Amino acid sequence: MSGKHTGFTHGFAATEHDTRGALAEIMMRLRIIGVPDEQAGGVEIAVTEAVNNIVEHAYRDVDRGSIMIRAGVTGNVLRVLLVDEGAELPGAELPAGRPANIDTALDDLPEGGFGWFMIRTLTRDIRYRRWRGRNHLRLQFDLIPTVG
Amino acid sequence: MSLTSTATDTAKIITVNAARIDAVMAIQFKDDMREQAGDGPARVILDLSAVEFIDSSGLGAIVAAMKQLGSERKLDLAGLTPSVEKVFRLTRMDTVFNLFGSLDDAISTEAADPSE
């Protein structure tokens, strides 16, 4: 398998409901193309947060948007590309994704703002480009080869 | 969302009967927690052993549930599966909550109060 490229493309409606089924399907296909079980959890968190951001922010004012995900494994690298036709990221830039401040009183603990930080922590590389009216978010993960 | 609860003398145990606490579930979870944990013992143990995945919305909902309890009561978490624990560790929320490997662990250490 090493060195070979395997991949898939999956498109779905950007609603909370369709997203859940699509993510289950995508996780199944990621395992088939070689993402080991031990790493699937981290990949699932990062991809889910990226999809949530598209549904909640890029398509905030759109009833029926769509998301296209293309994933591929080459050697020990997993690349996941997410494409949507929603609003551009603010300032056309990736958010800094700073960790949420949790050194606060109980009442001030954050209930959100964890997403980009987790995406940045779980990926090796992340790129964003606005191109022809679409957002292209590219996540790259290192896969640790399993023995045997 | 499906939450069930039982009460011991010193704690209320709330079990999450769902595989995911995600963006679809988060609001329902908050409402159900308010209902289940509205009154009762000062200590609430949330049994997460059936939960295979949470996202940042789910994490936010658990934080909100703890805030709802107020400063006189507390929310402990038990039975975190690897992916769920990863989210708590990444966000350092593992330092805000008391985490127990299993519900039994949580119950058997009920006398301890690590917040003091």
Domain count, chain A: 1
- Residue B78 predicted with pLDDT over 60: yes
The reply to whether residue A112 touches residue B55, judged by beta carbons under 8 angstroms, is no
Residues of B in contact with A35 (CB under 8 A): none
Q: Is A116 on the interface with B (CB under 8 A)?
A: no
Per-residue pLDDT, averaged over B63-90, amounts to: 96
pLDDT at B116: 46
Residue span of the structural domain in which A94 resides: 6-142
pLDDT at B111: 53
Q: Is A69 inside any structural domain? A: yes
Q: Is A147 inside any structural domain? A: no
Q: Is B114 inside any structural domain? A: no
Q: Is B115 inside any structural domain? A: no
- Whether residue B45 contacts residue B34, with contact meaning beta carbons closer than 8 Å, is answered with no
State how far the alpha carbon of A102 is from the alpha carbons of A8, A39, A147, B1, B96, in Å.
Answer: 38, 26, 38, 27, 8
Q: What is the pTM of this model?
A: 0.92
- Whether residue B48 contacts residue B78, with contact meaning beta carbons closer than 8 Å, is answered with yes
CATH number at residue B77: 3.30.750.24
Residue span of the structural domain in which B21 resides: 3-108
The two beta strands, B74-78 and B98-100, are parallel
Q: Say what the alpha-carbon torsion angle B43, B47, B51, B53 is, to the nearest 10 degrees.
A: 30
- Across chain B, mean pLDDT equals 92
A70 closest CA partner among A62, A60, A82: A82
Tokens of B76: 């402990």
CATH number at residue A14: 3.30.565.10
Q: Is B93 on the interface with A (CB under 8 A)?
A: yes
- Average pLDDT for runs of 10 along chain A of length 148: 80 92 96 94 97 95 93 96 97 91 93 95 97 97 80
Q: Is B63 inside any structural domain? A: yes
Q: Is A25 inside any structural domain? A: yes
